Each structure stands twice: as structure tokens, then as C-alpha cells.
């Protein structure tokens, strides 16, 4: 099993997934300063992206501008399993 973290965007009106951007690096210790992760130190839950977290993610990752007027963005974690 491999854990992958990504930015996932949801349309504010329909809640449909409209974009996904894989993240190469999520600095968990630095993110813990932005989000209350005491009960989720590995950040398995979904977290809304705010200006601070976006700036921090951009230091370590390359992704397009986030259209926050029309889309809600979250840092999400999902498991992928190898296919034999």
C-alpha cells in the first residue's frame, strides 16, 4: 500500500470533483503548525486549503493557480494498492 496526498477541488455549487493535483511533498511538521493535527498527526483526514497552507505547499510542489471563488480545495490522502 502506498499513501498519496493530493489537492482535490470541488465545485462550490455542485460539490463535484473538478480537479486533482498530486503532491510530491507535504511537509507534515510544518503543516501541523497550520492545522490542528493532534488527533491526526499523519494528516490522513481532509483539510481545507487556506492561504497559509497554499503558500507552504507551493514551496515544495508545482500546481496551477487555485480558483477559490468557484472551487473549494482540500489536501486529501488516499491509499493506492499495487496491481499484480
pLDDT band at 65 (very low <50, low <70, confident <90, very high): very high
Pairing of strands 47-48, 2-11: unpaired
- In the prediction, which pLDDT does 26 show? 85
CATH of the domain at 64: 3.10.50.20
Provide the pLDDT confidence category of residue 13 given band limits of 50, 70 and 90: very high
Percent composition of the chain: helix, strand, coil (DSSP 3-state, to 5): 15, 35, 50
How far apart are the C-alpha atoms of 54 and 74, rounded to whole Å?
Answer: 10
Domain total in the chain: 1
* Whether the Cβ atoms of residue 46 and residue 74 lie closer than 8 Å to each other: yes
Is residue 56 within 8 A of residue 31, CB to CB? The reply is yes
Grid cell 511537509 is found at 27
Q: What percent of the chain has pLDDT over 70?
A: 100
Dist CA 83 CA 39 (whole Å): 32
The pLDDT-based confidence of 1 (bands split at 50, 70, 90) is: confident
For the chain, percent of residues with pLDDT exceeding 90: 69
Domain that holds residue 74: 2-80
Amino acid at each position: 500500500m502506498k499513501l498519496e496526498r493530493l489537492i482535490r477541488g470541488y465545485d462550490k455549487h455542485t460539490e463535484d470533483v473538478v480537479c486533482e493535483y498530486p503532491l510530491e511533498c507535504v511537509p507534515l511538521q510544518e503543516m501541523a503548525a497550520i492545522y490542528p493535527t493532534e488527533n491526526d498527526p499523519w494528516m490522513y483526514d481532509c483539510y481545507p486549503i487556506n492561504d497559509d497552507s497554499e503558500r507552504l505547499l507551493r514551496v515544495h510542489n508545482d500546481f496551477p493557480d487555485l480558483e477559490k471563488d468557484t472551487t473549494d480545495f482540500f489536501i486529501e490522502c488516499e491509499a493506492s494498492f499495487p496491481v499484480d
